[in-house]
Structure 1
Amino acid sequence: MFHLHPNPMRPITSKNVAVIGAGAAGLVAARELRREGHGVVVFERESQLGGTWVYTSAVESDPLGLEPCREVVNSSLYASLRTNLPREVMGFLDYPFVDTKKARRDPRRFPGHREVLEYLRDFAGEFRVTEMVRFSTEVRYVGLVGDGKWKVRSIKRGGGSGGGGGAAADVDEVYDAVVVCNGHYTEPRIAEIPGMDVWPREQIHSHNYRVPDGFKDKVVVVIGASASAEDISREIAKVAKEVHIASRSFQTGSSAKLLGYENVWRHPMVEALSADGGVNFPDGSVIYADAILHCTGYKYHFPFLETNGVVSVDDNRVGPLYKHIFPPALAPGLSFVGLPWKVVPFILCELQSKWIARVLSGRVCLPPEEEMMADVETLYSDMEKHGTLKRYTHRVGEHQFEYDDWLAAQCDFPPIEEWRKEMYFGTGLRKRGQPETYRDLWDDEHLISQANEDFMRYIPKVPITKL
Structure 2
Amino acid sequence: MKKTTHPTTREQTSRDLETFPPPMSSSRVAVIGAGAAGLVAARELRREGHAPVVFERAAGVGGTWRYDDAASADPLGAGGVHGSLYASLRTNLPRECMGFLDFPFVADEGSVDPRRFPGHQEVLGYLEAFARRFDLLRLVRLQTEVVGVRRSCDEAGAAGWSVSYCSRKLAGAGSDLEGEQSEVFDAVVVCNGHFAEPRLADIAGIGGWPGKQMHSHSYRVPDPFHGQVVVIIGYNPSGMDISRDIAGVAKEVHVAIRSAPAEMQSATAHANLWLHPMIEFAEEDGSVVFRDGSRVKADAIVHCTGYKYRFPFLEEEDGIVSVDDARVGPLYKHVFPPHLAPHISFIGLPFKSILFPVFRLQSNWVAGALSGRIELPSPEEMMLDVTAFYSNMEVRGWPKKFTHNLGVEAWTFEYEDWLSEQCGLKKMEEWRRVIYAAGRARVSVRPESYRDEWDDNQLLAQAHLDLSKYISDVTSSMATYDVASVDLSSLRAHAIKEIR
Report TM bin, short chain: over 0.9
CA distance change for structure 1 residues 121 and 166 in 2, over 3 Å: closer, same or farther? Answer: closer
Q: Which amino acid aligns with 2:66?
A: V
The answer to whether the Cα contact below 8 Å between 2:91 and 2:117 also exists between their aligned partners in 1 is: yes
CA distance change for structure 1 residues 254 and 414 in 2, over 3 Å: closer, same or farther? Answer: closer
Q: Which is richer in helix?
A: 2
CA distance change for structure 1 residues 229 and 113 in 2, over 3 Å: closer, same or farther? Answer: same
Matches within 5 A, 1:40-51: 40-51=52-63
Matches within 5 A, 1:331-342: 331-342=341-352
Q: Which amino acid aligns with 1:294?
A: H
1:101 to partner: Cα distance: 2.4
Q: Which amino acid aligns with 2:81?
A: V
The answer to whether the Cα contact below 8 Å between 2:348 and 2:359 also exists between their aligned partners in 1 is: yes
1:465 to partner: Cα distance: 7.0
Q: How many residues align?
A: 449
The whole-number CA distance in structure 2 between the counterparts of 1:424 and 1:255 is: 24
The answer to whether the Cα contact below 8 Å between 2:261 and 2:277 also exists between their aligned partners in 1 is: yes
1:206 aligns with 2:216: yes
> Does the residue aligned with 1:63 lie in a helix, a strand or coil?
coil
The whole-number CA distance in structure 1 between the counterparts of 2:114 and 2:260 is: 39
C-alpha distance after superposition, 1:78-99 (max 9, x if no partner): 1011101001101100000111
1:270 aligns with 2:282: no
1:255 to partner: Cα distance: 8.4
Structure 1: segments with no counterpart, 5+ residues: 1-9
Instruction: Indicate which of 121, 127, 131 corresponds to 2:128.
Output: 121
In structure 2, what is the equivalent of residue 153 of structure 1? 164
1:239 to partner: Cα distance: 1.1
The whole-number CA distance in structure 2 between the counterparts of 1:334 and 1:319 is: 13
The answer to whether the Cα contact below 8 Å between 1:93 and 1:347 also exists between their aligned partners in 2 is: yes
In structure 2, what is the equivalent of residue 303 of structure 1? 312
Q: Which amino acid aligns with 1:317?
A: R
The answer to whether the Cα contact below 8 Å between 1:254 and 1:283 also exists between their aligned partners in 2 is: no
C-alpha distance after superposition, 1:192-249 (max 9, x if no partner): 111122211110000001111111111110000111101111111111111111022x
Instruction: Indicate which of 12, 29, 32 corresponds to 1:17.
Output: 29
CA distance change for structure 1 residues 273 and 254 in 2, over 3 Å: closer, same or farther? Answer: farther
Structure 2: segments with no counterpart, 5+ residues: 1-21, 479-500
1:293 to partner: Cα distance: 0.3
Instruction: Indicate which of 132, 142, 150 corresponds to 2:149.
Output: 142
The whole-number CA distance in structure 1 between the counterparts of 2:384 and 2:263 is: 45
> Does the residue aligned with 1:284 lie in a helix, a strand or coil?
coil
The whole-number CA distance in structure 2 between the counterparts of 1:189 and 1:166 is: 28
The whole-number CA distance in structure 1 between the counterparts of 2:177 and 2:331 is: 38
In structure 1, what is the equivalent of residue 484 of structure 2? none
1:394 aligns with 2:443: no
1:343 to partner: Cα distance: 1.4
1:367 to partner: Cα distance: 0.3
The whole-number CA distance in structure 2 between the counterparts of 1:365 and 1:189 is: 37
The sequence identity of aligned pairs, in percent, is: 55
Superposition RMSD on alpha carbons, in Å? 1.9
Matches within 5 A, 1:173-188: 173-188=183-198
1:258 to partner: Cα distance: 2.4
C-alpha distance after superposition, 1:328-359 (max 9, x if no partner): 01111110000001111100100000000000
1:166 to partner: Cα distance: 9.8
- In the superposition, the TM-score normalised over structure 1's length comes to 0.92
Larger RCO, structure (CA 8 Å, separation 6 or more): 1
Is the deviation greater in 329-338 or in 147-156? 147-156
1:252 to partner: Cα distance: 4.0
Instruction: Indicate which of 127, 137, 142 corresponds to 1:130.
Output: 137
> Does the residue aligned with 1:441 lie in a helix, a strand or coil?
coil
The whole-number CA distance in structure 2 between the counterparts of 1:183 and 1:281 is: 33
Instruction: Indicate which of 385, 388, 392 corresponds to 1:378.
Output: 388
The whole-number CA distance in structure 2 between the counterparts of 1:114 and 1:132 is: 23
Q: Which amino acid aligns with 2:163?
A: V
In structure 1, what is the equivalent of residue 442 of structure 2? 430
1:169 to partner: Cα distance: 2.2
In structure 2, what is the equivalent of residue 283 of structure 1? 292
The answer to whether the Cα contact below 8 Å between 2:191 and 2:346 also exists between their aligned partners in 1 is: yes
Q: Which amino acid aligns with 2:129?
A: D
The whole-number CA distance in structure 1 between the counterparts of 2:24 and 2:290 is: 61
